[in-house]
């Protein structure tokens, strides 16, 4: 009897799982995303939020007064 933690057993189990997903019409993909923990990401997100905020102010007529307790931050 083979060891359940044997590399070949693990590989066969993973391959069977992937085969079942392919039968369902799925395919594997690899996606690279920005590291949201980095200082560069935080700075860029901050800048882009201001850009969107400015665009929204220019393109939509918002009421001049906001709800009490809302500071618009």
Please report, for the chain, the start and end positions of each structural domain, with discontinuous segments joined by +: 35-61
Q: What is the DSSP letter of 25?
A: T
Query: Which pLDDT score is estimated for 52?
Result: 83
Cα-Cα-Cα-Cα dihedral sign, residues 41, 42, 43, 48: positive
CB-based contact 9:3 (threshold 8 Å): yes
9-52 pLDDT tens trace: 999 999 999 999 999 999 999 999 989 999 999 988 888 888 88
| Residue 69, Ramachandran bin (φ over 0: left; ψ between -120 and 50: alpha; else beta) | left
Q: What is the number of alpha carbons within 13 Å of residue 32 lying toward its C-beta? A: 0
Q: What is the pTM of this model?
A: 0.41
**Locus of tokens 């079942």:** 20
């Amino acid at each position: 009897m083979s060891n359940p933690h044997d590399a070949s057993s693990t590989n066969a189990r993973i391959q069977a799982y992937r085969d079942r997903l392919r039968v369902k019409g799925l395919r594997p993909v690899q996606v690279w995303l920005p590291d949201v923990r980095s200082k560069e990401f935080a700075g860029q997100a901050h800048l882009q939020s201001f850009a969107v905020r400015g665009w929204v102010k220019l393109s939509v007529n918002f009421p001049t007064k906001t709800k009490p307790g809302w500071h618009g931050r």
